[in-house]
Amino acid sequence: MDFQDWEMLATLHHTENITQAAQQLFLTQPTLTSRIKKLEEHYGVQIILRKRRGITFTPEGMQLAEHAIKMLHEQREIEENLNNMKDQVAGILRVGVSNFFALNKMPKLLRLFKQEYPNVEFQVVTGWSSEMHRLILNHDVHLSFIKGDYPWKEQKELLYEEEICIASPWDFEWQDLPKLPRIDYYTDETMKTIVDDWWYQNYKQRPNINIQVNQVETCKEMVINGLGYAILANLVVRPYPELIIKPISMSSGEPITRKTWMYYHEDSLQLNIVKAFIRFIEGLDMKAL
């Protein structure tokens, strides 16, 4: 097997889907299927089994996939160590980024960093904070930007804290919220738990959710266009003074907030590229960025 085979098997292992794997590898589906068949012929074993939805690995295929993942990891370590030995900030920085941070902070952050370190390339993965937590746990990225608190015993930096609030296109009284139209959006379990706990501590009725969307940005646009209120983090709606924004609070009166962290492993500081990036982050006001 060569590097392309390792990458193919690792991607199939991650996606468990030929169509998705082909998209991630920038291949056509027939090309990917042909490469799988050639690998099966080379080893004389069946590597995958097709299911109604997706694929699964045979025992022989799983052994090859695990070997491919191991080899990719070792190859990455070799490349990082060689770049580090040059005593310069260069190479590929692998970053996991929660969705909101990816949209609103990451482009400016990477542009500023690349101005200072032009020899750095970026490999960025975005998604729910729970997914970014898994990536950093598995050493799949050098560091992760995560919204909310997740179990973590290694290094972390608090980037900023923001209030959870009601954002509404019209003024409202707190007691009227259960009757008013609410726009909800899919989010990670941590945020959902925060909002649900607050709601049922204050109201007996279920919220009147009449629009459900996939992303917080879509939710925000619905609110701006007067279709209902939403419960979301303050930074999402801060640029819109026309909205009525009221923070939600605990029974003690203390505002309910959500923190955004940078998680990383202590041993990753041995890499010049990671050390430089973390120092760069520490010199910025991430909330104002």
CATH 3.40.190.290 at 162-258, yes or no: yes
Q: Which pLDDT band holds residue 86 (cuts at 50, 70, 90)?
A: low
> 86-160+259-283 belongs to which homologous superfamily?
Periplasmic binding protein-like II (3.40.190.10)
- Strand pairing class (230-233; 155-168): antiparallel
Neighbours of 258 (CB within 10 A): 20
DSSP reduced 3-state for 56: strand
What are φ and ψ of residue 77, in 5° steps? -65, -40
Could you report the per-residue pLDDT of 105-155, keeping only the tens digit for each?
Answer: 999 999 999 999 998 889 999 988 999 999 999 888 999 999 989 999 999
Residue of 89, 142, 157 whose CA lies nearest to 267: 142
Residue 94 has pLDDT above 70, yes or no: yes
Could you report the per-residue pLDDT of 25-53, keeping only the tens digit for each?
Answer: 888 888 999 989 989 898 999 999 988 78
3-state DSSP of 120-148? EEEEEEEECHHHHHHHHHCCCCCEEEEEC
Domains 3-81 and 162-258 share a fold: no
Q: What is the pLDDT of residue 115?
A: 92
Could you report the per-residue pLDDT of 229-243, keeping only the tens digit for each?
Answer: 999 999 999 899 999
Domain ranges of the chain: 3-81, 86-160+259-283, 162-258
> What CATH number is given for 3-81 in this structure?
1.10.10.10
